[in-house]
Structure 1
Amino acid sequence: MTKTTKAGHTVEKIGGTSMSRTAELLDTVLIGKRTGEDLYNRIFVVSAYAGMTDDLLEHKKSGEPGVYALFASAESGWVWGDALTAVADKMYAHNERIFSDDSARQSANRFARERVEGVRSCLIDLQRLCSFGHFQLEQHLLTVREMLASLGEAHSAFNTSLLLNLHGVRSRLVDLTGWRETGQMDLDTALERALSDVDLSSELPIVTGYAQCSEVLMGTYDRGYSEVTLSRLAVVTKAREAIIHKEFHLSTADPRVVGEKAVRVIGETNYDVADQLSNMGMEAIHPRAAKSLRQAGIPLRVKNAFEPDHEGTLIRSDLGGQDPQVEIVTGLRNVYAFQFYDQDMVGVKGYDSEILEALKRHKVWIIAKTSNANTITHFLRGSMQAIKRVEADLSARFPAAEMSLRKVALVSAIGRNLGGAPILAKAMTMLAEAHIQPLGVHDLMRKIDLQVVVEPEDFETTVRALHKGLVEDQMVASLIAAA
């Protein structure tokens, strides 16, 4: 069993963008001012360096194909091999920047080369095998995707552990990627086994964000798997706190939109608010990962990796409501409003379930939904191609239905308790003053968020207007009342 001290330990995750600022991380999160025993009683889960997973799979935002997408495409031939070579070169370039010590750099390069060439050999063999009709490539693509994704985390975890050892910290690589292992076990068992002989009071484990297990993390969470590893690791090892280090604070709005002086860091909130943020794409933590922490009563802290003295935002399961107020204004600039209209829908069951099944089948994320007697509108995140497939499926199933698709923006004002305050009236007033005509408004009876649908070009103006009226003005009023 993992050994720790009476004070307990933390499980901490570092995101990809922060990982790429390695030298700064040493001075803040990884070592900083810590000495002796203060360096330990922490477990770090690390992501791949920024852009590496995009190159290995596909670009998260643009959809530009990476190694996986090229390999999965029958028309690509051997182009994926060149893309994999480019990834290896990128890994070597990272190693060059990180390690001034020649011996350490060569060790890092050997590790990266062994992993990359091992994957290359595997993919070549698989491609040859699937040239025979008895073997279908589609049946193996999820495994290929997991194997490729794991390269990025293994690379960054190895480098981080080696770098810490060079700086006098007793660090250990905990490789959960299943490299050259036979058989699989469930995630919790894999975590328990990997840390069974670790003494947290004198060792600093660096854990890969990807973990091979029988649950097949990418099949359920796709690229949110590292947060699942974080949460289950915290639960299995009975951590006192989970921490996510990002390159920014969790603030009342995006400072790039409303201005640095207008925002403030959210001191504390609950997992309910965190779920709403995830739904809006502003992920504090993947909602399914948050569930494990919430059920175990483990608080989550979101910190700026480069402001180590700031306490950040504490998310707790036992934190209830407060005086009615908006805590954060956020949203999504590009959302697809998919409208399904059928005059025959009135009083007939089955339409909704068929639509949901088509969206699930084509892996389209639902942000919000509205309906009336004969119209159902879903607000969706996903590729246009995937949504068009949904439309084609539903056209075949409901030939009399009329469907339309348009781009909109969705802005949400979120808080633990929005009841008992004229949030909707104030929001409409602020939008009118900003000359914004909403396309739609979602204000549920459970007062946790208010969603406004606007034209994409009105996104930033809407965020600024709602933040001004619902957050900034409220802060001023509170200060006046307290004076």
Structure 2
Amino acid sequence: MPNCEPGAHTVEKIGGTSISNAAAVIENVLVGGRKRSALYNRIFVVSAYSGMTDRLLEHKKTGKPGVYALFASASSKSAWIEAIVEVRLAMKRLNAEVFGDSSERRVADEFVNERFEGVSDCLLDLQRLCSYGHFRLEEHLIAVREILAAQGEAHSAHNTVLLLRKLGVEAIFVDTTGWRDETEMSLDARIGTALSAIDLGKQLPIVPGYSRCPGGLVRLYGRGYTEVTFARIAVLTGAKEAIIHKEFHLSTADPKIVGIERVRAVGPTNYEVANKLSNLEVEAIHSAASKELRHANIPLRVKNTFDPQNDGTVITRDYVSDSPQAEIIAGLRGVHALGVEPQQVVLG
């Protein structure tokens, strides 16, 4: 574990839409008015840039195939190769937006090139191997999905470190993706090993939301895997608070559906409510991550990246409102509840 006193630091996750707005994240979350020691005693876990995991796997909502889905279908070799080239170009376009024509952009591009040359070679070799018939492609698809997913968070984390170091912050890229690492280890061991040399009082670790582990983090937790990494780091390091920075407040309804002017931020609440929201696909926090934080009695704060003055919603284990009230109204399309009540049987 890092060099720190338990309860002296926070662990914070930055969502995909937020991390895509580099200027806002730097000003409202990572740096802002902080100087010297105020910059540290925080661990950041970052999601991939908005839409990048959709390109790497498949679109989360529409199912449009990304690199993984095209590779898994094996219908056209050229289709997945074209898709992986496009992802690589998309990452470089993001690099240009973030860094302009600076030396950091060239470093960022080299990182993308190295990663995707490796991934492309790996997939081509696997495809050739499976063409002999003795090897079954479906036996390797879990690993393919994992290695592709990892590249989105590795890219955003590496870029974030470059941005911070340019500003004089002692940021450290803590790579938990297992890239070219032949060692097999548990999730806890990988996190612990990656953070072991960090001095939280003097360094700011930036961790990809993907962590390689037996069984595959994506297979085990779906697209909520970044939150599991985030929660596990908070528990293992003894964080005083876990914080999620996202594009909206935790709201009484989905602002994208009903409009931001028709919702309000949810006030203090408890993990029981957070779990119910997760079951209804309201993106507060993955239920597995919520369970980790709840058992460790670590408060979770959900903040709006673009409204930094607002303290956000604090979720704790034992919170009970002063008076009974409805916390939120939510639902799922195409899901119906059927209640069955037994009739009294009259025997004559």
TM-score (ref. length: structure 2): 0.94
For 1:258 and 1:103, how far apart are their aligned partners in 2?
Answer: 43
1:155-194 matches, within 5 Å, as 155-194=155-194
Aligned CA distance change for structure 1 residues 59 and 6 (closer, same or farther; 3 Å): closer
Give the 3-state SS of the residue equivalent to 1:297 in structure 2: coil
Report what 1:254 is aligned to. 254
SS in 1 for 2:315: strand
Structure 1 residues 103 and 196, CA gap change in structure 2 (3 angstroms): same
Secondary structure, in 3 states, of the residue corresponding to 2:334? strand
More displaced stretch, 88-97 vs 249-258: 249-258
2:311 equivalent in structure 1: 311
- Tell me the distance in 1 between the aligned counterparts of 2:192 and 2:33: 30
**Which residue of 1 is the match for residue 232 of structure 2?**
232
Contact 2:44 2:205 (C-alpha < 8 Å) held by counterparts: yes
Q: Deviations over 1:180-204 (max 9, x none)?
A: 0002111111111111110001100
One-letter amino acid of the structure 2 residue matched with residue 109 of structure 1: D
1:2 and 1:200 in contact (8 A); partners too = yes
Per the alignment, residue 131 of structure 2 pairs with 131
Measure, in 2, the Cα distance between the counterparts of 1:255 and 1:121.
42
Aligned to 2:345: none
Give the AA of the match of 2:96.
E
In the other structure, the counterpart of 2:81 is 81
Describe the shift of the 1:30–1:66 C-alpha distance in structure 2 as closer, same or farther (beyond 3 A): same
Structure 1 partner of 2:12 = 12
Task: Give the SS at the match of 2:207.
Answer: strand
Q: Residues of 1 paired with 2:341 and 2:134: CA distance?
A: 50
Q: What's the CA shift string for 1:237-296, capped at 9, x where partnerless?
A: 000010111100112223455555553322210000001111111121000110000000
Residue pair 1:186, 1:215 contacting (<8 A) in 2 also: no
Name the residue aligned to 2:291. Answer: 291
1:263 corresponds to: 263
1:455-477 CA distance string (max 9 Å, x none): xxxxxxxxxxxxxxxxxxxxxxx
Correspondences of 1:272-421 after superposition (within 5 Å): 272-320=272-320, 322-332=322-332, 334-337=333-336, 370=338, 372=340
Q: Distance in 2 between matches of 1:149 and 1:256?
A: 26
1:187·1:215 contact (CA, 8 Å) conserved in 2? Answer: no
How far, CA to CA, are the matches of 2:144 and 2:259 in structure 1?
43
CA contact (8 A) 2:99 2:105 kept: yes
Higher relative contact order (CA closer than 8 Å, sequence separation 6+): 2
Q: Deviations over 1:41-68 (max 9, x none)?
A: 1100001100110000001111110000
CA 1:6–1:58 in structure 2 vs 1: closer, same or farther (change >3 Å)? closer
User: In 1, Cα distance between the equivalents of 2:146 and 2:189?
Assistant: 19
Q: CA deviation at 1:99?
A: 0.6
CA distance in 1, matches of 2:194, 2:52: 25
Tell me if the contact between 1:154 and 1:177 (Cα under 8 Å) persists in the aligned partners.
yes
Corresponding residue SS for 2:75: helix
Query: Matched residues, percent identical?
Result: 56
CA distance in 2, matches of 1:66, 1:216: 19
Larger radius of gyration: 1
What amino acid maps onto 2:190 in structure 1? A
Distance 1:8 1:321 in 2: 28
Per-residue deviation at 1:155? 0.5
**Does residue 36 of structure 1 match 2:17?**
no
Conservation of the 8 A alpha-carbon contact between 2:7 and 2:239: no
Determine if the alignment matches structure 1 residue 245 to structure 2 residue 245. yes
Query: How big is the alpha-carbon RMSD for the aligned residues of Structure 1 and Structure 2?
Result: 1.7
Distance in 2 (CA, whole Å) between partners of 1:101 and 1:200 is: 32
**What does residue 214 of structure 2 align with?**
214
Deviation sequence 1:38-97 (CA, Å, 0-9, x none): 100110000110011000000111111000000001212221001000000001000001
Contact 1:5 1:41 in 2 (8 A): no
1:45 equivalent in alignment to 2:45? yes
Distance 1:233 1:250 in 2: 22
In structure 1, stretches of 5+ residues that fail to align are 338-368, 375-483
Find the aligned partners of 2:52 and 2:6 in 1 and give their Cα distance. 38
Equivalent pair of 1:31/1:39 in contact (CA under 8 Å):
yes
Residue 58 and residue 171 in structure 1: after superposition, are their counterparts in 2 closer, same or farther (change >3 A)? Answer: same
TM-score (norm 1): 0.68
Q: How many angstroms apart in 2 are the aligned matches of 1:19 and 1:211?
A: 18
Q: Quote the Cα distance in structure 2 between the aligned partners of 1:143 and 1:257.
A: 35
1:328 deviates by: 1.4
User: Which residue identity is paired with 1:226?
Assistant: T
Q: Following the alignment from structure 2 to structure 1, what is the Cα–Cα distance between the partners of residues 121 and 261?
A: 53
State the distance in 2 between where 1:118 and 1:321 align. 53
